[in-house]
Amino acid sequence: MPSYIPIIGLEIHVELKTKSKMFCRCANNPFVATPNTNICEICLAHPGTLPVPNRSAIVDTVKIARALGCTINAESKFDRKHYFYPDLPKAYQISQYDQPIGEHGEIVLTFNHAQEKNQRDNATIGITRVHLEEDTAKLTHAVSHPERSEGSPRQRRDSSATPQKDSDVGNTLVDFNRAGVPLVEIVSEPDVESALEAKTYCQELQLIFRYLGVSDADMEKGQMRCEANVSLQEAGRFTKERGTLAPKAGYKLNPKVEVKNINSFRAVEKAIEFEVKRQTALLGKGETWQQETRGWDEGTQATVHQRFKETSADYRYFPEPDIPPFEPLKIASAVSIGELPLARRERFHQEYGFSYADSYLLTAEPAWAEYVENVMSELTAWLHALPETHACVEKDKNTDKPPLCKTAQDLARLAGGWLTSKLMGAMKERAIDIKILKVKPENFAELVALIYANRVNSTNAQKILAEMLDSGVNLDPTHIMEEKGYGQISDTGKIGAIVDDIIKNYPKQIAEFKAGKEPLIKFLIGMAMKASEGSADPQVVEKMLREKMK
Ligand SMILES: [Zn+2]
Whether 217 and 104 share a structural domain? yes
Question: Is the confidence at residue 44, as pLDDT, over 90?
Answer: yes
Ligand 1 centroid to residue 16 C-alpha, Å: 16
- For residue 25, the CA-to-ligand 1 centroid distance in Å is 6
* Residue 318 CA, ligand 1 centroid: distance in Å: 23
Question: Over 80: is that where the pLDDT of 144 sits?
Answer: no
Report the separation in Å between the CA atom of 37 and the middle of ligand 1, taken as the mean of its atom positions: 10
Tell whether 194 is covered by a domain.
yes
Query: How would you class 463 by CB atoms within 10 Å of its CB: exposed for 0-12, middle for 13-18, buried for 19 or more?
Result: middle
Residues 384 and 473 in one domain: yes
138 with 178: CB under 8 angstroms?
A: yes
Domain count, the chain: 4
Q: Tell me the mean pLDDT in the region 464-482.
A: 86
Q: Which of 274, 304, 328 is the last residue of a domain?
A: 328
Give 278 Cα–ligand 1 centroid separation in angstroms.
Answer: 44
**Is the predicted pLDDT of residue 137 greater than 70, yes or no?**
yes
Ligand 1 centre to CA of 35 (Å) is 13
362-409 pLDDT tens trace? 999 999 999 999 999 898 888 777 655 544 555 545 555 555 566 777
Pick the more confident residue, 526 or 105.
105
Highest mean pLDDT: which of 270-284, 394-408, 456-470, 477-491?
270-284
How much is the average pLDDT of 47-59? 95
User: How many other C-beta atoms can be found within 10 angstroms of the C-beta atom of residue 122?
Assistant: 10
Q: What's the confidence (pLDDT) of residue 117?
A: 62
| 509 lies in some domain | yes
Which percentage of the chain shows pLDDT scores above 70?
Answer: 88
User: What is the per-residue pLDDT for 162?
Assistant: 39
Do 157 and 183 belong to one domain?
no
Least Cα distance to 282 among 231, 240, 229 occurs for: 231
Confidence at 159, pLDDT banded by 50, 70, 90: very low
- Does any domain span residue 336? no
Among 19, 20, 214, 196, smallest CA distance to 119 is for 196
349 in any annotated domain = yes
Q: Which of 328, 353, 378 is the last residue of a domain?
A: 328
Centroid of ligand 1 to alpha carbon of 179 (angstroms): 8
Asked if the structure places residue 13 within a domain, the reply is yes
Parallel, antiparallel, or unpaired for β 122-134 and 257-262? Answer: unpaired
Lowest mean pLDDT among 145-149, 236-240, 299-303: 145-149
- 498: in domain: yes
In this prediction, residue 307 carries a pLDDT of 87
- Do 266 and 234 fall into the same domain? yes
C-alpha of residue 43 to centroid of ligand 1, in Å:
4
Domain that holds residue 510: 492-548
Neighbours of ion ligand 1 (CB under 5 A): 24, 26, 40, 42-43
> Looking at the structure, do residues 426 and 522 belong to the same domain, yes or no?
no
CA dihedral 301, 88, 11, 240 (to 10 degrees): 110
User: Domain check: are 199 and 89 in the same one?
Assistant: yes
Read off the pTM. 0.82
Q: Could you tell me the distance, in angstroms and rounded to a whole number, from the CA of residue 262 to the centre of ligand 1?
A: 28
| 121 and 146 both lie in a single domain | no
Q: 290-305 burial, b if ≥16 CB within 10 A, otherwise e? A: eebbbbbeeeeeebee
Same domain, 253 and 192: yes
Cα 191 to middle of ligand 1, angstroms: 38
Task: Label residue 215 left, alpha or beta by phi (over 0 means left) and psi (-120 to 50 means alpha).
Answer: beta
Calculate how far, in angstroms, residue 39's C-alpha sits from the geometric centre of ligand 1: 4
Q: What is the mean pLDDT of residues 301-326?
A: 86
> Distance from the CA of 132 to the center of ligand 1, in angstroms?
17
CA of 33 to the centre of ligand 1 (A): 14
Q: Rounded to 10 degrees, what is the CA torsion of 185, 191, 193, 196?
A: -40
Contacts with 376 (C-beta within 8 Å, 6 or more apart), sequence order = 352, 412, 415, 445
- Centre of ligand 1 from the C-alpha of residue 134, in Å: 11
Average pLDDT over residues 502-514: 89
Instruction: Report how far ligand 1's centroid is from the alpha carbon of 8 (Å).
Output: 36
Give me ligand 1 centre to Cα 140, in Å: 20
Q: Which residue has the higher pLDDT, 356 or 328?
A: 328
Does the pLDDT value for residue 316 go beyond 60? Answer: yes
| Residue 38 alpha carbon to ligand 1 centre in Å | 7
Chain segment 203-242, per-residue pLDDT in tens: 999 999 999 999 999 999 999 999 999 999 999 999 988 7
Displacement of CA 47 from its chain's centroid (Å)? 42
Confirm if 491 and 535 have CB atoms less than 8 A apart. Answer: no
334 in a structural domain: no
180: CA distance to ligand 1 center in Å? Answer: 7
Structure confidence at residue 331 (pLDDT): 92
Same-domain check for residues 39 and 80 = yes
Q: How far is the CA of 93 from the centre of ligand 1 (A)?
A: 14
In a domain, 324, yes or no: yes
Ligand 1 centre to CA of 22 (Å) is: 9
For 39-46, what is the mean pLDDT? 93
Is 313 in the same domain as 401? no
Which of 287-301, 325-339, 381-395 shows the lowest per-residue confidence on average (mean pLDDT)?
381-395
Whichever domain contains 509, its CATH number is 1.10.10.410
Ligand 1 centre distance from Cα of residue 125 (Å): 36
Give the integer Cα–Cα distance in Å for 529 and 536: 6
Q: What is the mean pLDDT of the chain?
A: 86
- The reply to whether 102 and 249 lie within a common domain is yes
In terms of Cα–Cα distance, which of 142, 133, 128, 245 is closest to 187?
128
Question: 61 and 114: one domain?
Answer: yes
More confident residue, 396 or 353: 353
- Dihedral pair phi/psi, residue 130, rounded to 5°: -130, 115
Tell me which of 149-163, 274-288, 483-497 is least confident.
149-163
Using pLDDT thresholds of 50, 70 and 90, give the confidence band for residue 534: confident
Residue 360 CA to ligand 1 center (angstroms) comes to 40
393 or 338, which is more confident? 338
State in Å: Cα 224 to ligand 1 middle. Answer: 21
